[in-house]
Structure 1
Amino acid sequence: DGNYYTGDTGWHPDGGWGRLFACKVTFYLDDLTKDTGCLRVIPGSQNPTHFVRAQKIDPNQSEALYGIPPRDFPTSIALETSPGDIVIFNHDTYHASFGGGARRRMFTMNCTQHCTTEPDLETLHQYLSVHSAGGYQIDTGAGMFFPTMVDTADENRSIHLQQCSDIHDELFPQYARRS
């Protein structure tokens, strides 16, 4: 998933499972500081007992709540990066970006656990209904992944791709791999 981002991205988590189910691996192609759109996180906010979650606080409303702009939300930290740096975080962690200019280049990989129980498989179905090519209405021509990822996969990588591919194709048959 490669993207250009501009401007601000408000506080949000990508999940709410209350445990480590998925993580995001992000790397940037530009120098990013607290003033130019670096990733900000609220450490510990992936935990259901963290004050943001326990008190149902919307960090984007911190100006009204505390008189503090969202970019300076209490306990948040700015993760300044240089090209090639990698940031990995739990999908449940609240994160944002403020001060981005006209171009903030980043690549992300969303990773989930391999599911073996019915509750985890149900969670994976819910996850892929949003966080996948089909969920974003992107037709890759190869289903969940782009053709190069699938076509160059050896047996070991294919094993890791299979579960998400199968569920994705079940959820989005219109985007399933075409021969």
Structure 2
Amino acid sequence: MTITEALYELGVRDDTLSTDEKAQLDREGFLSLPGILDVATVAAMNQRLAELLDEEGEAAGKEVHQEPGTNRLANLVNKSALFLPGYTHPRVLAGIAHVLEGDLKLSSLNHRAALPGQGLQGLHADWSGATAPGQFYVCNSIWLLDDFTPDNGATRVVPGSHNSGKAPHEELSSPTDTHPREQLILGSAGTVVIFNSHTWHGGTLNHTEKPRRALHSYFTRRDQPQQTNQQASLHLNTIASLSEAARVVLEVTLP
């Protein structure tokens, strides 16, 4: 099965996103999709993440990245079928496919929660160096597991920066500075925000007393290495439980 066939099997069609939604993704570099997850699914995911953080303790997130001031988890494909929508939901896949011209695979599925008083990141792109406008290699999606508010560490983005041909340091003396054109990604839990990962972005400071939780379902072109090598990281029973289309998105095969 090819990736084109897999996307079709998973429900991706030319009209899965509207013309206006695609245009916003092209123009701004990000697109909010409210209501992708229902309340019960959000609660179940948060419960499983809490269990994993307790089980993994100080090792949590080490497969990919550990970040001071946050809770991190990695390799979530292998840790619960609850996270299956992260790489199979048709609306999200349609957005990723639009940015990457249908040439995609999951790079990683991780969790990040900005802890109280923490979470500030410098503006960055998820690709080393600037690229020419329209030449994109990576695309991310943020799955809001709490409401994203102005106070709790919501992600900031600089609209249109994916087409600037520049890196953040070329416009800011420090990447933690406020960019004059930045916007906060705000929305209710259950929303998914697709963003072209060449768009400058970063977490902000969580001024509340609770963690701000999200999943990051991150995709790359099929000729690029994955952040998490899915074939090497997944248990055989996990791979066997998936549809052929899901395995193609993950770039894994049964032995």
Q: TM-score, normalised by structure 1?
A: 0.63
Match of 2:218 in 1: 110
Alpha-carbon distance, 1:85 to partner: 0.8
Q: CA deviation at 1:14?
A: 0.8
8 Å CA contact 1:59, 1:73 repeated in 2: no
Query: 1:158 Cα deviation (Å)?
Result: 2.1
Partner secondary structure for residue 121 of structure 2: strand
Q: Which of these residues, 30, 46, 70, is aligned with residue 146 of structure 2?
A: 30
Greater fraction strand: 1
Q: Counterpart of 2:114?
A: 5
Deviation digits for residues 46-91 of structure 1 (CA, Å, limit 9, x no counterpart): 1243xx53982346357xxxxxxx2x31111111121101111111
Task: Give the 3-state SS of the residue equivalent to 2:143 in structure 1.
Answer: strand
Aligned with residue 85 of structure 1, among 183, 191, 194: 191
The equivalences for 1:20-169 within 5 A come to: 20-49=136-165, 52-53=166-167, 56-58=170-172, 60-61=174-175, 70=177, 72-100=178-206, 101=208, 102-114=210-222, 121=223, 124-125=224-225, 128=226, 132-133=227-228, 143-145=232-234, 149-162=238-251, 165=252
Query: Would you say the 8 A contact 2:140–2:197 is kept in 1?
Result: yes
In the TM superposition, residue 39 of structure 1 has moved relative to its aligned partner by: 1.2
Report how far residue 103 of structure 1 moved. 1.0
State the match for 1:173 in structure 2. none
* Matched residue SS, 1:111: strand
Q: How many residues align?
A: 137
| Distance of 1:54 and 1:107 partners within structure 2 | 24
SS at match of 1:159: helix
Structure 2 gaps, min length 5: 1-109
Cα separation, 2, equivalents of 1:28 and 1:156: 25
Distance 1:96-1:47 versus aligned 2 partners, 3 A rule: same
Q: What amino acid sits opposite 2:121 in the alignment? A: T
**Are the equivalent residues in 2 in contact too, given 1:34–1:78 (CA < 8 A)?**
yes
Quote the Cα distance in structure 1 between the aligned partners of 2:168 and 2:212: 32
CA contact (8 A) 2:148 2:186 kept: yes
Measure the CA separation in 2 of the matches of 1:2 and 1:10: 19
Give 1:73's aligned amino acid: H
In 2 relative to 1, CA 145–45 (structure 1 residues): closer, same or farther, beyond 3 Å? Answer: farther
Give identity over the alignment, percent: 23
Q: Secondary structure at the match of 1:60?
A: coil
- Structure-2 change in CA distance of 1:2 and 1:84 (3 Å): same
Q: Shift of residue 32 of structure 1?
A: 1.7
Q: Which runs of 5+ in 1 are unaligned?
A: 63-69, 115-120, 135-139, 167-176
Distance 1:150 1:161 in 2: 9
Does structure 2 conserve the Cα–Cα contact (< 8 Å) formed by 1:40 and 1:96? yes
After TM superposition, the runs of 4+ consecutive aligned structure 1 residues lying more than 3 A away are: 52-55, 58-62, 144-149
